[in-house]
Chains A and B, each alone.
Chain A
């Protein structure tokens, strides 16, 4: 199953690999600002991948998706998040990961796992981009892992958005994109989610004076007798 057919195909593979790679770097990143920048980079790479697929496969509606992705996830949401970070004075916050190396190696084994899981799907698919399905599934799992391993609420939002990226990614590579209506709807949802998160942050900070989600456990109503 050699898929290195054309130079374009290879470029798509390279871009897909880079999208996966940004997920890895995000996982080990401890600075919130840099995390948002990486998220923007991932959005841009994703847009580039989509555009390339669109050119190779000659499917113009993917161009629209790519533009949407670029505008929304590459520019708009990162800007919003940066603004939030500045407003809350979080730009110097360190969201340290306990054991970065173990985390990254675990993430690498997740890649193998998602390869194993998506194998039946890949075998059914006839598309030239079918090999990337495993990478997109891995990006999804890594987004989830990002949320588990980080403590700051901002990181959680980035992780959530990265998962959304991954879903879009897998749609592009496994079926050359969803119907345009669905994509527009999802994009709008994401935008709204970002705004709601922003509002939510202020609420959280008002009640616990921090955006460290570990402290949310203080809100428990069960009396700790010890």
Chain B
């Protein structure tokens, strides 16, 4: 029985792999020119690599940008020829991913630092490009997800071919969005950085607003654009401070700027608000759970998996590279915001029923974990322990990559589920593991990774964050020494809640009995392309979870280039043991754990599974003697989350309504009960509504300036003129 089930799952997976392979080989056989082109490309690339060495990083990255742009503009013809989008556009995105991986990988491995200035833009300011290990790493993050999306996408967008929405817009906005993100990483002056940043924001606005026939979607897109632009304003101001103290718009000039601690703090706070708004840290996260769910799923994967990371990149670049001298107060602020985001993000996620909205809230949580790592890094750097700071920074970067991988995996999985079951509410799903077994396995890998369970990748980065937090005894201040472990405990709480949340998601979506007609009649078909796209990400989850040390060593090189110091001398640098401080302090051999687990599993299975003399028997589950279990008796997602809703009641605004219909006047004989539950974000009430009220109030008062009388306006101009003359003299 069990063998059958496992064998079926394995057989299906194998079948899919074989189908994919045979399809690929068939294509190759029928089109020999593809094979020739591939070989030629490979030869050219490796030859170029051989000649240029690490200087090849920038050309490859520019090639990636060019491919993304080409994909966007080629997609303009997709309205007439939908195949153009499916084949050419996504193919170019895939090429962009490969080129980005080559460029970013070269920069990261070779610790390249290449500059280029293009004579474009303003007459006195060229477009400055620069690639180093940091931007190379984030380029790799984009590319890894981009590869998965380019494989996953063609099949997924078929749904939109029959819709009313123009495919050309989808293709163009996607291409520009990705090119914008890649250019942000390459920018080396504030001006070009902002252009790329706006390209990314505006293009993604069109993607969020893509299915704009629902008012809710338009509303979400509007909030997204509004907050993105406010954030951009803050970033411009932050750069403005640096430009004011330095002598130019280029990053190199900003690094030379010497700031007083006060002005440095002003710049830091502006940057934290600006980049934090894009990254979605609490309390600036309101746009995130609105915008991410309404975009098409492969775009959600890009937005949640990658775009938030671009904001993290901006923050790291600004704080660690441009500002230079760090203050411990910043570390505390970032740590507190990170911990709050981690806990609140997961608490709100627990209350969601919409699958993609739930995942979006989890992005808030994971961004919180990343910022906790960054906060610890700032604390240690400012206290004069750069080697310990490197642990925090590496933990944050590691989690950046890991979150990009598993969050994209989950969003792509959610896309498949939504497309197949035609349901977005998880209360109406159930039993899908029988309908789409391979997707279930891949989605489960994503769930385990995001819940930070060994031996997958999410655990590694959380483990590193804990290790960074546990080095507090090195800090001088006793208050910080007692405060940091509390935030580490918050991380533990968020980890436990995340596990609960994903038990809920996987249990309610895939296990149990189907809860609706749609879920029951979900198509069994699982497309090979979708599975290949998700499989690539799931494989990376396992690979980075089992062999994290090579990645950590690469990231150590990055921190050396960025801040001048790597991990402590005593850290293990072998390929198997992960020991960031020293082997005596903490060690984790993920591969060993994995193998030991496998061994224990095999032995217990071999010895303890029932032999042929004691076969398993199927029987009807226990129903308390009432007969016929129906799906309505199953535990629902809200029932699962109910203890949390009650325990953490102070963190939500809960509207609970029970209406009873009764047959008689006394209301004793109840014929029907209607239960309504709405849980909303506390911060709307505490933060956004007051801000909105204040804005309305001030706008009303400022509006009084506008009298409509021409002489008053002339008076304004007159006084302004006099004021300016006074200022000049």
Residues of A at the B interface (CB closer than 8 Å) are 102, 112, 115-116, 119
Q: CB of B482 within 8 A of chain A?
A: yes
The 0/1 profile, CB within 8 Å of A marked 1, for residues 458-499 of chain B is: 000000000000000000001100110000000000000000
Give Cα A56 to B479, complex, Å: 29
8 new A-B contacts at CB < 8 Å, known A112-B479, A112-B482: A102-B650, A112-B483, A115-B478, A115-B479, A115-B482, A116-B478, A116-B479, A119-B478
Interface residues of B in 473-531 (CB under 8 A from A): 478-479, 482-483
CA A116 – CA B650 in complex, angstroms?
A: 29
Residues in A whose Cβ lies below 8 Å from that of B650: 102
**Min CB distance, B480 to chain A, in Å?**
10
What are 10 A-B pairs with beta-carbon distances under 8 A? Answer: A102-B650, A112-B479, A112-B482, A112-B483, A115-B478, A115-B479, A115-B482, A116-B478, A116-B479, A119-B478
In Å, the complex CA distance between A102 and B479 comes to: 20
Nearest residue in B to A116 (C-beta to C-beta)? B479
Give the 10 A-B residue pairs with the shortest CB-CB distance, closest first.
A116-B479, A112-B482, A112-B479, A115-B478, A115-B479, A112-B483, A115-B482, A119-B478, A116-B478, A102-B650
Tell me which of A102, A112, A116, A119 has the highest count of chain B C-beta atoms within 10 A of its own C-beta: A112
For the complex, what is the distance from the CA of A138 to the CA of B139, rounded to whole Å? 51
Residues of B within 8 A of A (CB): 478-479, 482-483, 650
> A48 vs B478: C-alpha distance in the bound complex, in angstroms?
28
Q: How far is the CB of B372 from chain A (nearest CB, A)?
A: 19
- Report the bound CA distance from A119 to B477 in whole Å: 10
Alpha-carbon distance between A112 and B478 when the two chains are bound, in angstroms: 9
Which applies to chain B's interface (DSSP): helix, strand, loop or mixed? helix
A119 to B480, CA, bound (A): 13
Kindly list chain A residues whose C-beta atoms are within 8 Å of the C-beta of B483.
112
Residues of chain B lying within 8 A (CB to CB) of residue A115: 478-479, 482
Q: Which residue of the partner chain A has the closest CB to B478?
A: A115
Give Cα A116 to B477, complex, Å: 9
Kindly name the residue among B482, B483, B650 whose own CB sees the greatest number of chain A CB atoms within 10 A: B482
A223 to chain B, nearest CB (A): 34
Q: Give the docked Cα–Cα distance between A223 and B483 (Å).
A: 48
Q: Which residues of B have CB within 8 Å of A112?
A: 479, 482-483
Complex-state Cα separation, A102 to B650, whole angstroms: 11
For residue B337, give the distance in angstroms from its CB to the closest CB of chain A. Answer: 18
Question: Main SS of the interface on chain A?
Answer: helix
CA distance A115 to B482 in the complex (A): 10
Alpha-carbon distance between A119 and B650 when the two chains are bound, in angstroms: 34
User: In the complex, what distance in Å separates the CA atom of A211 from the CA atom of B664?
Assistant: 46
CA distance A119 to B483 in the complex (A): 16
Q: With the chains together, A116 CA to B478 CA distance in Å?
A: 8
| Docked complex Cα distance between A112 and B650 (Å) | 24
For B479, give the chain A residue with the smallest CB separation. Answer: A116
Chain B, residue nearest A111 (CB): B482
Give CA–CA (A119, B478) in the complex, Å: 9
The complex places the Cα of A102 from the Cα of B482 at a distance, in Å, of: 18
CA–CA, A116 and B332, complex, Å: 16
| B339 shortest CB reach to chain A, Å | 14
Nearest B residue to A102, CB-CB: B650
Residues of A within 8 A of B482 (CB): 112, 115
Q: A116 vs B482: C-alpha distance in the bound complex, in angstroms? A: 11
CB distance from B706 to the nearest CB of A (A): 41
Q: Across the two chains, which residue of chain B brings its CB closest to A134?
A: B478
Bound-state Cα–Cα, A214 to B363, Å: 45
> Smallest distance from the beta carbon of A134 to chain B beta carbons, Å?
9
A102 to B483: give the CA distance in the assembly, Å. Answer: 17
Q: How far is the CA of A100 from the CA of B478 in the complex (A)?
A: 27
Residue in chain B with minimal CB distance to A1: B478
Shortest CB–CB separation between residue B338 and chain A, in angstroms?
18
Q: How many whole Å from A126's CB to the nearest CB in chain B?
A: 19
Smallest CB separation, B477 vs chain A (Å): 9
CA of A119 to CA of B479, assembled, Å:
10
Inside 8 A of A119's CB, which chain B residues have their CB? Answer: 478
Residues of B near A102 (CB, < 8 A) are 650
Please, which residues of chain A bring their CB within 8 A of the CB of B479? 112, 115-116
* Chain A: CB-nearest residue to B483: A112
Measured CA separation A116–B481 after assembly (Å): 11
> A57: shortest Cβ distance to chain B, in Å?
25
Taking the closest CB of chain B, its distance from the CB of A66, in whole angstroms, is 30
Q: How far is the CA of A112 from the CA of B482 in the complex (A)?
A: 7
Distance of A102 Cα from B649 Cα, bound (Å): 13
Whole-angstrom distance between the Cβ of A24 and the nearest chain B Cβ: 15
**Nearest-Cβ distance from residue B649 to partner chain A, whole angstroms:** 10
- Rounded to whole Å, the gap between the CB of B225 and the closest CB of chain A is 38
B478: chain A residues at CB < 8 Å are: 115-116, 119
In the bound assembly, the distance between CA atoms of A115 and B478 in angstroms comes to 8
Query: Distance in Å from the Cβ of B52 to the closest Cβ of chain A?
Result: 55
Instruction: Give the distance to chain B from A137, nearest Cβ to Cβ, in Å.
Output: 14
Give chain B nearest CB distance to A17 CB in angstroms: 14
Give the distance in Å from the alpha carbon of A147 to the alpha carbon of B411 in the complex.
52
A152 to chain B, nearest CB (A): 25
Report the minimal beta-carbon distance from A3 to chain B, rounded to whole angstroms.
13
Closest Cβ of chain A to B418, distance in Å, is 39
For residue B486, give the distance in angstroms from its CB to the closest CB of chain A.
8
> A115–B481 Cα gap in the complex (Å)?
12
- Min CB gap B122→A, angstroms: 51
Q: Please, which residue of chain A has its CB at the minimum distance from the CB of B647? A: A101
Q: How far apart sit A90 and B642, CA to CA, in the bound complex (Å)? A: 37
B620 smallest CB distance to A (angstroms): 43
Closest to A122 in B: B478
- Identify the closest chain B residue to A105 (Cβ): B486
Residue ID in chain B nearest A101 by CB atoms: B647
Residues of B within 8 A of A116 (CB): 478-479
Q: How far is the CB of B2 from chain A (nearest CB, A)?
A: 44
Closest partner residue, chain A, to B482 (CB atom)? A112
Most A CB contacts (10 A, CB to CB) among B479, B483, B650 go to B479
A115 to B650, CA, bound (A): 29
**CA of A159 to CA of B650 in the docked complex: distance in angstroms?**
28
Instruction: Give B421 Cβ to nearest chain A Cβ, in Å.
Output: 40
**Shortest beta-carbon distance, B216 to chain A, in Å?**
35
Q: How far is the CB of B454 from chain A (nearest CB, A)?
A: 30
Q: A112 vs B481: C-alpha distance in the bound complex, in angstroms?
A: 10
- Give the distance in Å from the alpha carbon of A105 to the alpha carbon of B305 in the complex: 35
A119 to B481, CA, bound (A): 14
Looking at the assembled complex, report how far the CB atom of B479 sits from the nearest CB atom of chain A, in whole angstroms: 5
A74 CA to B123 CA, complexed, in Å: 85
**Shortest Cβ distance from residue A109 to the other chain B in the assembled complex, whole angstroms:** 9
A77 vs chain B, min Cβ distance (A): 33
C-alpha gap A74/B336 in the complex (Å): 42
A115 to B483 CA separation, bound complex (whole angstroms):
12
Q: Give the residue name and chain of the B residue nearest to A115 (CB).
A: B478
* Chain B residue with the shortest CB-CB distance to A112: B482
Shortest Cβ gap from B319 to chain A (Å): 26
Query: CA A119 – CA B476 in complex, angstroms?
Result: 13
Within the complex, what minimum Cβ distance (angstroms) separates B715 from chain A?
Answer: 49
Report how far A115 CA is from B477 CA in the complex, Å. 11
A84–B479 CA distance with the chains assembled, in angstroms? 42
Least CB distance from A204 to B in Å reads: 33
Closest Cβ of chain B to A195, distance in Å, is 41
A123 CA / B479 CA spacing, docked (Å): 15
